[in-house]
Chain A
Amino acid sequence: MSQSSRKKLLLMGRSGSGKSSMRSIIFSNYSAFDTRRLGATIDVELSHLRFLGNMSLTLWDCGGQDVFMDNYFTNQKDHIFKMVQVLIHVFDVESKSINKDIEIFIKSLTNLQKYSPDAKIFVLLHKMDLVQIDKRQELFNIMMEKLQKISNPYQFKLIGFPTSIWDESLYKAWSQIVCSLIPNINLFNNNLIKFNSILDAEEIILFEKTTFLVISSTASIKQQQLQQQKLLNGGGTQNGQQQNGEQQEETQDNSLDLDPKRFEKISNIIKTYKQSISKLRTNFNNLIIRGSNGTNFYIDILTENMFIMIILKNKNEIESDSGFKINQNEELLVLDNIRSARKWFEKIENSK
């Protein structure tokens, strides 16, 4: 069992493309500014990360200098490319020699096909902050089209992300990469929906504790369900969906108005907060914000490995005449609901 829960992730790309910087920001609490101190990675640097308790990731950060690269594709190829779950290939958008970059990408695809054909491939177009804002999307599309064409003969489906360490795009990419590895994601999703039907929240989001990557959220689940429903032609609505059918569509409308990048932004903000209070040599247990326009935020520990964030809207305004005390109690009620929810989620986590 421990064998199967150990995941091997290859992080590849040419030297200077920003591989180690990413790793340090997401998994070692570096700030973007700190990554300047990083030197070149020599050969392969292994890091073992525990994620969601019993899932352990081994991240192979492969140094990108040509000497090492040649070595990977010749002497070490069975060592490197065996049992790979995920390949994350990083392209530097500012790179002068794109042909060389692609050549290396093809080489690793060839090897992957031979040694671990089931691997998932993620492509990150990194250092996007160096491209003018209006040109980013276009550049990304062109590049992805090209790469997909190249990888077609190898029957891999690429998933690409534009990233930069200076904004939240990095969190989006890594959150999806890591989520693709969680085996019982559906259990989490179902329970989250159930929890939401009790709380009637604007939105609930689950985060992993140390990295603060988004695991799941009510909005994204609903989107998936909606897509599934469309596939089923809307004919037979299932039991679970029938219950909160109305709510779903309402909140669907709401979440369209909201910032589509909000998850990554939240990850980023909370990460900054964690770094900030590490100056006091501590960590945080919860964060409750009573917002300026009636939105309340609750961020609390859910399980040993997860944080939960609940966003409630406009609940206080109804009760505002009786004022202060009711607010206080509502706060307690929500926190208590979270505590009760802990039992469910801990069960799922331990069931693996």
Chain B
Amino acid sequence: MEAAIIPNPKSKDSNAQILLMGLRRGGKSSICKVVFHNMQPLDTLYLESTTKPTNEQFSSLIDLSVMELPGQLNYFEPNYDSERLFSSVGALVYVIDSQDEYLNALTNLSMIIDFAYRVNPKINIEVLIHKVDGLSEDYRMDAQQDIMQRTGDELLDLGLEGVSVSFYLTSIFDHSIYEAFSRIVQRLIPDLPSLEHMLDNLVQHSNIDKVFLFDVNSKIYVATDSSPVDIQTYEVCAEFIDITIDLDDLYIENEKKNPNKKNGRVVEDNNDETKELKSISHLSNGSTLYLKQMIRGLALVALIRNETFDNEYIDHSQDSNDNIANTTISDSEKSLTIIDYNVNLFKESLMKMWSSYKYSNNI
């Protein structure tokens, strides 16, 4: 009887599914609300305790669904169809409250891993050491060490040495939760290597410092080039999306705005006929932020760091009259044009990639 409360995952077989688990009050619903619903972190204080599994549909480059399970359920009662649940899941995300006593959580975790791994050996196991905003810098490292050590020991006792478990330090009050989710989602995208390769190509040929492929609604990045991710660059790029969209929304006429105020962004994204959003901002240290809308609610955001940019820009402003008269385009504009061209190529190949992905899935 009770098994019925777990929704049937089979109906959306093609979806990569993420299962969000953890003890009660670990912060699972807050994570969902903040990442997928743009809720303010402080407002999550007033969330009710979750009583039944909830499903988030999340359609990005691939269709994802995130299922959140209530913490207080016991999955090892025989009438749960846990086997079916775990067999269809791509990633299992376990949330540990780092501000609380976590020994119980670790026992619970190893039991779940034990079960899930036997049912589905391909499952990715990710552990979020959550709520680290309340811990001091040193203590975070200690906590992570301790949790990794103990999990390793428990798994060893259970005879599961081959299981790889990834750990992330997260908090909803900064961007670490997005970073962690980005990594988790990336591991589920089948053609990530070719995406990254494409982005690498783009970076090499266009003077780009760093490029992200963002999901606009959740600020999760689906892919980035292979240079290391600097969390500050990520934050700036993510916020640049918000700013662009907010400004753009202000001048959409009221009639259009009101009916789909809530899902305005989604509607905008699905509608391929509307003009693509694009924004460019020159910074005073010579860098440029560049955003261009891609397919399926994705946006490409790049940080172009070019020392000569700034000088060109100022030079251009000084003798602008002559320049315009001869319709010569300055160097900064030229390299932007090159980037535009390259980004368009990237978009085309992204569309090709996606259609072949869709095709193969239908068969």
Interfacial residues, chain A to chain B (CB-CB below 8 A): 202, 257-259, 262, 265-266, 269-270, 272-273, 276-277, 279-295, 297, 311, 313, 316, 324, 328-329, 332-333, 336, 339
Contacts and interface: CB of A to CB of B under 8 A. Distances in A.
B244 interface: yes
B236 A291 contact: no
Contacts, number: 121
Interface stretch (B186-194, B196-204, B251-259): B251-259
A293 B256 CA distance: 11
A203 to B, nearest CB: 8
Contact of B283 (A282, A292, A295, A333): A282
Contact of B244 (A257, A282, A289, A332): A289
Contacts of B277: 289-292
B251 A291 contact: yes
Given A290-B277, A292-B276, 13 more contacts: A257-B255, A258-B250, A276-B235, A284-B281, A285-B310, A288-B279, A289-B247, A291-B251, A292-B275, A292-B293, A297-B247, A332-B333, A339-B320
A281 B251 contact: no
B12 to A, nearest CB: 29
A257 B254 contact: yes
Contacts of A311: 251
A295 B233 contact: no
A280 B275 contact: no
B153 to A, nearest CB: 39
Q: Is the interface of B mostly helix, strand, loop or mixed?
A: helix
Contacts of A294: 275
Contact of A285 (B232, B313, B327): B313
Contacts of A277: 236, 283, 289
A336 B328 CA distance: 13
29 contacts: A258-B251, A258-B253, A270-B243, A272-B242, A276-B240, A279-B232, A280-B236, A280-B285, A282-B284, A282-B287, A283-B284, A284-B281, A284-B283, A285-B284, A286-B281, A286-B282, A287-B279, A290-B276, A291-B277, A292-B252, A293-B252, A295-B252, A297-B247, A297-B248, A297-B251, A297-B279, A311-B251, A324-B340, A336-B320
A309 to B, nearest CB: 9
Contact of A262 (B236, B250, B256, B333): B250
Nearest to B268: A292
B251 A332 contact: no
Given A276-B235, A289-B278, A259 B283 contact: no
Interface in B111-168: none
Interface in B238-274: 239-240, 242-244, 246-248, 250-256, 268, 274
Given A257-B253, A272-B243, A292-B268, A329 B283 contact: no
A7 to B, nearest CB: 29
Interface residues of B, number: 46
Given A292-B274, A332-B333, A272 B251 contact: no
Nearest to B253: A257
A295 B282 contact: no
B250 A288 contact: no
Contacts of B239: 272-273, 276
Nearest to B271: A292
B3 interface: no
A129 B318 CA distance: 47
B103 interface: no
A174 to B, nearest CB: 20
A313 B268 CA distance: 18
A328 B278 CA distance: 12
B219 to A, nearest CB: 13
B250 A265 contact: yes
B281 to A, nearest CB: 4
Given A285-B313, A288-B280, A292-B277, A202 B251 contact: yes
From A202, A270, A287, A288, residue with most partner B Cβ within 10 Å? A287
B247 A269 contact: yes
A217 to B, nearest CB: 13
A295 B320 contact: no
A266 B276 CA distance: 21
Interface in B200-234: 232-233
A266 B268 contact: no
Contacts of A291: 248, 251, 275, 277
Contacts of B324: 332-333, 336
Nearest to A270: B243
Interface in B296-326: 310, 313, 317, 320-321, 324
Contacts of A287: 279-281
A289 B254 contact: no
B329 interface: yes
Contacts of A269: 243, 246-247
A290 B236 contact: no
A289 to B, nearest CB: 4
Contacts of A266: 247, 250
A313 to B, nearest CB: 8
